[in-house]
Structure 1
Amino acid sequence: MPELPEVETVTQSVKKHLLGNNFDSIQVNWKKTLHNFKISDFNNKIKGRNIENVYRKGKYIVIVFKSVFLCVHLRMTGKLYAANSIEKDKKHISLFLTIGDKYLVFEDVRKFGRFYMFDNLDFLDNKLGIEPLSEGFSENWILNQIKERKRQMKSLLLDQSFICGIGNIYADEALWYAKIHPLSNSSSISKKKILNLRKGIIKVLKESIKRGGTTIRDYTYDFSYVGNYALKLNVFGKEGKKCPRCFSVIIKTKVAQRGTHYCPRCQIKR
């Protein structure tokens, strides 16, 4: 599933095509893609309205109009991109919207991706935790929040109501950076490691955004570009290979029903 860097990359790639323009029409090929609204709602509230902003919130792409928000969640295999034409031989286009002589296309092999329409963002504000690249994600915040929770560290980082946007890849990478075992209890982590975890989260997310995200299987942006942060991964997907820090063999296990990679020497369970 695309995580914060991938969603940010997609957001920026479509933003330049959308700002100041408007949607003329929508064609829905997979009805469930519209999660909480119908085509008639689109025609009444969005069609012909100026697009004022486009930004990422957690793993959602938010398209802003004067009095309504169109939000997109890519889920597992969703691809959102601008195109000059619709390729009729493509089987997995769930929907597309027309923008003048261009199209905003949503392609989704597994059909889990969703579009939402909201009058305000209360739903997302209540659902999502702090943005890890925001000013609010401070040393004081993470020290207080980690210590007051008694949860396994990997599970906590995957909780979108705690910190939004982090998924499996970047949780593993950040925990490795901070030398924290994924099964360690959050209340037992030292102050030094918590602060290093914050540094690691910011570092891996920012570096991944610079490289266009991580392409493991399905993720692309701008129609066909792939992210190349996979070349910089230290532990994720490296089962059986040597840790780049201590040269021990990286182990893969399951935490919170997710494949989890860690170094048994660097990341000792506390």
Structure 2
Amino acid sequence: MPELPEVQSVVNYFKPLLTQEKIHNITSPNGYEKVFDTHSILNINTATKGLCIDDVYRKGKYIVLDLSKGFLCIHLRMTGQLQMDMKQADSVKHCSFAIFFESGKSVYFKDYRKFGRLYYYKNLDILNDKLGVEPLSTEFTYEYLLQRVKRSSGMIKPFLLNQKHIAGLGNIYIDESLWLSKIHPKKISSSISKSKIKILSEVIPKILTQAIEFNGTTIINFSYGNQVSGDFKQFLNVFGKRGGPCPRCKSKLKKIFVCQRGTHYCSKCQKI
């Protein structure tokens, strides 16, 4: 699933293309109307027709189209991709929704597994209520993380996956951040030392920022715009590298499952 750097890369690509565009209509080329999570296709058209996109930004793993009245929010989920046109090789059966603009421009949402969703909200209270602090904001500090982690009696990886604590983190960058901090993914959160929590609070925004600079990580089919892949995979230390040498101690990297998520770590560097 695309995580914060991937979603931010999509936003960076599409923001200049979509800002100030006025919505003409929204369709579902493949007829998969479950993609419209909050409204029927008729009602979402009624709510958005003629509205201008004032801004495009990210909130957690959501792409937010800030309209002149309300918000369209897009969640890519596993395989969702936005593109400005349909390529000759593209199949309509994979295009869950399309937004057409008064200027003649259009944007298409291609989604092989059909998990992605489009939402229309009058305000962002729903997202604000379920998302925690943004890890690239000034609100994300050592003190914030320390307070939250020390109150948790669960394992650290599920804690970091919980979007109510930190918005936008996911499997790839959690594994990388825990490796950099020498924290075992199954370590009980409240038992982690303050020194390691301090390191974790520093490496999370650092690695996210680095990944954004390379437009995220393409593992299977992520594209940040018009089928262009992210380039950060070459800088990953542990994720997807089971059986390879740990870049720090040369021990063999392992893969386990934590909360049904494939989890990569070094058993020598990351003691439980």
- TM-score of the aligned structures, taking structure 2 as reference length: 0.95
Match of 1:259 in 2: 262
Q: Secondary structure at the match of 1:8?
A: helix
Q: Does 1:21 align with 2:24?
A: no
**Distance in 2 between the 1:87 and 1:54 partners?**
28
In structure 2, the partner of 1:122 is: 125
Distance 1:89 1:201, change over 3 A: closer
**What corresponds to 2:230 in structure 1?**
227
RMSD of equivalent CA atoms = 1.2
Q: Which residue of 2 aligns with 1:66?
A: 68
Structure 2 SS opposite 1:52: strand
| In structure 2, distance between residues paired with 1:265 and 1:43 | 56
Per the alignment, residue 10 of structure 2 pairs with 10
Q: Gaps spanning 5+ residues in structure 1: where?
A: none
> Are 1:43 and 2:45 matched, yes or no?
yes
Deviations 1:154-189 (A, max 9, x none): 111111111111111001000000000000011111
Percent identity among equivalent residues? 46
Q: Choose from 192, 198, 223 the match for 2:195.
A: 192
Give CA deviations for 1:69-107 in whole Å, capped at 9, x if unaligned. 100000000001223x56485231111111222211100
Among residues 247, 269, 272, which one is paired with 1:244 in the alignment?
A: 247
1:76 aligns with one of 69, 78, 97 = 78
Letter in 1 for 2:94: H
Letter matched to residue 56 of structure 1: R
Superposed CA deviations along residues 201-223 of structure 1, whole A, max 9, x for unmatched, are 11111110000000000101211
Q: 2:21, 2:52 within 8 Å by CA — same for their partners in 1?
A: yes
Taking the TM superposition and a 5 Å limit, the aligned residue runs for 1:174-193 are 174-193=177-196
**Which structure 2 residue ranges, 5 or more long, are not aligned?**
none
Q: Select between 180-189 and 98-107 the one with higher mean Cα deviation.
A: 98-107
Separation in structure 2 between the aligned mates of residue 36 and residue 104 of structure 1, nearest angstrom: 20
Deviation at 1:192, TM superposition (A): 0.7
- Partners of 2:227 and 2:67 in 1: CA distance: 28
Relative distance call for 1:88 and 1:160 in structure 2 (3 A) is same
Report how many residues are paired: 268
Query: Per the alignment, in what secondary structure is the counterpart of residue 79 of structure 1?
Result: strand
Q: C-alpha separation between the residues in 2 aligned to 1:41 and 1:88?
A: 31
- Tell me, in whole angstroms, the C-alpha distance in 2 between the residues paired with 1:162 and 1:143: 12
Give the secondary structure class of the aligned counterpart of 1:213: coil
In the alignment, which residue of structure 2 is the partner of 1:163? 166
CA contact (8 A) 1:10 1:81 kept: no
Q: TM-score, normalization: structure 1?
A: 0.96
**Which amino acid is the alignment partner of residue 157 of structure 2?**
K
Larger displacement relative to structure 2 (116-125 or 36-45): 36-45
| 8 A contact 2:33–2:41 mirrored in 1 | no
Distance verdict in 2 for CA 1:47–1:88, change over 3 Å? farther
3-state secondary structure, aligned to 2:100: strand
Q: Give, in angstroms, the shift of residue 40 of structure 1.
A: 2.5
C-alpha displacement of 1:122 = 0.8
Q: Distance in 1 between matches of 2:147 and 2:45?
A: 46
